[in-house]
Amino acid sequence: GQNIDQPTEMTATEGAIVQINCTYQTSGFNGLFWYQQHAGEAPTFLSYNVLDGLEEKGRFSSFLSRSKGYSYLLLKELQMKDSASYLCAVSLNTGFQKLVFGTGTRLLVSP
Amino acid sequence: DGGITQSPKYLFRKEGQNVTLSCEQNLNHDAMYWYRQDPGQGLRLIYYSQIVNDFQKGDIAEGYSVSREKKESFPLTVTSAQKNPTAFYLCASNLNGRGMGGRELFFGEGSRLTVL
Q: What is the DSSP string of A67-110?
A: TTTEEEEEE-S--GGG-EEEEEEEEPSSSS--EEE---EEEEEE
Decide if pLDDT at A44 tops 90. Answer: yes
Q: Which of B29, B33, B43 is the best residue to mutate to test the A interface, defined by the most A CB atoms within 10 Å of its own CB?
A: B43
* Cα–Cα nearest to A52, from A63, A38, A44: A63
CB A31 within 8 A of CB A15: no
**Mean per-residue pLDDT, A73-97:** 91
Report the percentage of chain A scoring pLDDT > 70.
Answer: 99
pLDDT band at A21 (very low <50, low <70, confident <90, very high): very high
**Mean per-residue pLDDT, B24-31:** 93
Chain B stretch 45-104, residues whose beta carbon is closer than 8 A to a beta carbon of chain A: 45, 48, 50, 56, 88, 90, 94, 96, 100, 102-104
- The Cα–Cα gap between A41 and A43 comes to 7
| Residues in chain A within 8 Å Cβ distance of B43 | 43, 87, 89, 99, 101
Decide if pLDDT at B100 tops 70. Answer: no
Q: What is the mean pLDDT of chain A?
A: 93
Q: Please indicate whether, in this complex, the C-beta atoms of B31 and A101 are within 8 angstroms of each other.
A: no
| Residues in chain B within 8 Å Cβ distance of A100 | 42
Decide if pLDDT at A32 tops 80. Answer: yes
N-term to C-term CA, chain B: 36
Q: Which comes out higher in pLDDT, residue A95 or A51?
A: A51
- The Cα–Cα gap between B90 and B30 comes to 17
Q: Identify residue A92 by its one-letter amino acid code.
A: L
* Cα–Cα nearest to B63, from B36, B23, B92, B24: B36
